[in-house]
Structure 1
């Protein structure tokens, strides 16, 4: 009898041992191929884990995670902060030697609108590159159950949050909603579709949000930004700083808004380039015209324009 019980227990244990890896594999496959994992959050994490970071472009929503330069991986996240950049640099290059690196050199790295933003690119959310299973990411685990039950859990960032809407005027809110409706419903939309007064209003809002905060030079964010660059340099990277395109109206407003720190940032980023002996490329130096019809809003190029511009950036950075 004891022998029978022992054999039965061993059989159940064997089934459990065999079933567990099958379940884990099933979950892994589900997380890779289910439409519930099609959001940009998951794409960014998988791109960071499974792409070759040797030659790379880093930044925020002007970069995103779709490569637009042959041989380069893109590691950009909407609203990415210097702390997240530094986390990525350690994550990608602690075990990999960097080659050619293009780093977005825009003032919004240290903009006011980051002060209340939650960080997404964290060690716990990133997928382990040593054991590259999506289940090593806390973000995947935390969203697994809602996705499995096909809940209405929304992982996409909203263009206008209700809290933010309370802080802006009804006229400006209408302009923002009008932009969103046009952008979403017309594949050939560009910035000139909005009336000049609405473009000016939304540009002023954007410039005010991205205005570097008063203490940015001595902030922990600036320290993290410089640490990321220092580590890349120490690891042997060839780094190019690139100022991404904005409209002429955006540029003009950076000098006219109250308490502007854009000029201070320009001095800061050039000092960084000098200190680390890095090439700095401004979008105005590229062989391309950037009128309003090239933009989706005051500081984001249309997708087709981005695809044409980034190879020009690579040539300006590394072939000159």
Structure 2
């Protein structure tokens, strides 16, 4: 009797041992193949886990995750914050020696629109590079059940920020209407910023500049400490680091000098000081051999796709040649 029970238990244990790996492999395959994992969030995590970070570009939605420089991987997340940048630097280069690195050097790193923004690029959300299974990511686990029962959600990446719901100023009201029009037009072929009227572009740019104005005392903030620590870590590890200021429209540049409590000039001085302190090359988009008319832009500070593909190789040459 005992022998029979023992044999039966062993069979069940063997079945369990064989079934568990199959289930894990099945879930892993589902997470790679299901259309529910096509959202930007999942793509960013897989891009970070399964690409070579030796030569890389870091930033926010101006960078994203599509490589636009041969031999470089791009690691940008919409609305990325300096702490997330530092998390990525640790994630990649605690185990990999960095080569040529471009870091976006834009004022929105310290913009006030980060105040209520939840961080997505965290150690627990990233996929382990030592054991590269998506199931090592907390984000995959936390969204697995809703996706399996067909109640997962899509995450839309909008490169124009939503105005605060409780701000009913005339500018915000006009900008909200202009933004709705922008959303309707953006997906159409050959869209560019000039499809909106000058007044609409003016309102949307004004909101954008206000949101990206660096916060007071940003250079002494925790965000600045994270930004500088990321750069220091790269330099110590032997990286050749370049800071690159990405393109914006002429209206955007004009407004940075005219809004109340503008700290854009303070940011420029801060970035120059960072470049001097760490002995880095600092490239401004205005130094590139290219004209930046409004037709090159999708909004006041994002290039349309084909322009972005043309500009990044120019930035790489300015950085490293």
Verify same fold: TM over 0.5. Answer: yes
**1:86: which partner in 2?**
86
Aligned partner of 2:239 in structure 1 is 237
Query: Matches of 1:209 and 1:309 in 2, distance apart?
Result: 25
Aligned pairs for 1:302-317 within 5 A: 302-317=304-319
Alpha-carbon shift at residue 187 of structure 1 (Å): 1.8
Aligned pairs for 1:1-320 (under 5 A) are 1-157=1-157, 164-168=164-168, 169-184=172-187, 186-319=188-321
Q: CA deviation at 1:155?
A: 2.9
Which 10-residue stretch deviates more, 159-168 or 124-133?
A: 159-168
Could you tell me which runs of 5 or more consecutive residues in structure 1 were left unpaired when the two chains were aligned.
none
How many pairs were matched up? Answer: 318
Taking the aligned partners of 2:256 and 2:162, their CA distance within structure 1 comes to 27
Deviations 1:95-137 (A, max 9, x none): 1000000010000001111111000000000001111110000
String of CA shifts for 1:279-303, please: whole Å, max 9, x gaps: 0000011111100000000000001
Question: CA 1:235 to 1:162, structure 2 compared with 1: closer, same or farther past 3 Å?
Answer: closer
The whole-number CA distance in structure 2 between the counterparts of 1:140 and 1:106 is 31
**C-alpha contact (below 8 Å) 1:128/1:136 kept by paired residues:** yes
**Alpha carbons of structure 1 residues 292 and 162: separation in structure 2 relative to 1, 3 Å:** closer
Change (3 A) 1:268 1:69: same
RMSD: 1.3
Instruction: Tell me the TM-score normalised to structure 2 length.
Output: 0.97
Check conservation: 1:165, 1:173, Cα contact below 8 A: no
TM-score by length of 1: 0.97
- Evaluate the alpha carbon distance shift between residue 75 and residue 218 of structure 1 in structure 2; reply closer, same or farther with a 3 A threshold: same
